Amino acid sequence: DSGVTQTPKHLITATGQRVTLRCSPRSGDLSVYWYQQSLDQGLQFLIQYYNGEERAKGNILERFSAQQFPDLHSELNLSSLELGDSALYFCASSGGQGFAYNSPLHFGNGTRLTVT
């Protein structure tokens, strides 16, 4: 158990809809990262938050947004969903400010999103 909790585990929704994925980091970790894993793109970094502030941005679509709350949990919002958004969405956390600096990432079990 990595200590990172993601909910829900599975989500099935229709095109055009909006969903929210939730992540609780490991106790004490201040950084939260979101990754998307699709069959054709592999594991792609979306966005990182550190202590409530956006720290780094990857290939995140404009239809997607995220935030980190004062209690350090994070939510990833996906809107105007398309079939191609079907993927496994992972959240990870680490103790450091950035991706590195002696701070490994620990991943949750992911949320499997299916858009029909």
Footprint of another protein on this chain (CB under 8 A)? 2, 33, 42-43, 45, 48, 55-56, 58, 88, 90, 98-107, 109-110, 112
CA 30, 79, 44: angle at the middle one, nearest 5?
Answer: 50
d(CA 69, CA 91): 15
Question: CB-wise, 54 or 82, nearer to another protein?
Answer: 54
Q: Smallest distance from the beta carbon of 36 to another protein, in angstroms?
A: 11
Tokens of 58: 């990857």
Write out the two tokens for 104: 């490994």
By beta-carbon proximity to another protein, the closer residue of 72 and 110 is 110
